[in-house]
Structure formats: structure tokens, C-alpha cells
Amino acid sequence: MTTSTTSADLARYRLFFLVAGIYDLALGVAFFFLYEPIFEWLGMPLPPHVSYIHLPAVFVLVQGLGYLLVWTDPLGNLGVVKVGVVYKASYSALAAYYLLTDQIPAMFFAWFGLFDLGFFIGFVWFLRWARRATARS
């Protein structure tokens, strides 16, 4: 791996984590502040208490902030990426389970699972790349 290849790869991964960060940040903010119109649009009843929406929304928002930390220093934040792998795999698997058992509350959530599967794959590729890049330096 040449230095120019490594720099170009790192730049692409940084852009990828910027997208991941903005995606989760936007979802967290949207579900925190706009949950009523979102649920109405989805045709879903609101849960019995707003905390059922706010708590996961804040979690998603914080995940987005974590990916923005990775964007600023990808190799210095490998732990955040590892947590992201577990988070994205977990959401994707749960969304697939609920979709396959016909229990998903709205197809909207299946799309999030598909997007998270894409992020999961990108995170794993990045970790593999980072291991090779740091082993050669």
C-alpha cells in the first residue's frame, strides 16, 4: 500500500464517516423533535409516553456524534467504529427479524435496517483497511 493510496483511502473513509454521522444525527434530531408528524405520516399510534421515542432518538443522535469523531480522526477512534459495527449489525438484524416475522411496525424501519447494513459493511471494511494500514507504518 503506497502512501498516496493510503491517503486517498483515508479520505474516502473520512467522507463515509461524515455521511454516517450526519445520517444518524439527522435521524436522532428528527425523531426527537418531529416524532408526532413522523408517526402520523407512518400511520402509527404514538407510544404511551414520549420517553419511548426520546430515549432511542438521543441514542441514535449520540451515535451520529461518535461517527463525526471518527470523521475527524479515523485511526484514533477505532473503538467508536467497533461499537458502530455492533450497533449497525444489531439494528439490521432486528429489522430483518421483524420484517421476516411480519411484525415490523412500518416499512420505514426496514429501510433503516438496509441502510445500517450498508454502514455495517463499510465499518467492517474500514477496520480491515485500518489494520493493514497501521501494520505497514
- H helices within 1-137, ranges in order? 3-33, 35-42, 51-72, 78-100, 107-135
Is the alpha carbon torsion for 15, 18, 24, 26 positive or negative?
A: negative
What are the boundaries of each domain within the chain? 3-135
76 close to 14: Cβ distance less than 8 angstroms: no
pLDDT per residue, tens digit, the chain (137 aa), is 566 668 999 999 999 999 999 999 999 999 999 999 999 998 899 999 999 999 999 999 999 999 999 999 999 999 999 999 999 999 999 999 999 999 999 998 999 999 999 999 999 999 999 999 999 87
Note the pLDDT of residue 4: 65
For residue 58, give the nearest of 78, 37, 77, 35 by alpha carbon.
Answer: 35
Note the pLDDT of residue 136: 82
Note the pLDDT of residue 1: 53
pTM: 0.93
Alpha carbon distance 133, 62 (integer Å): 28
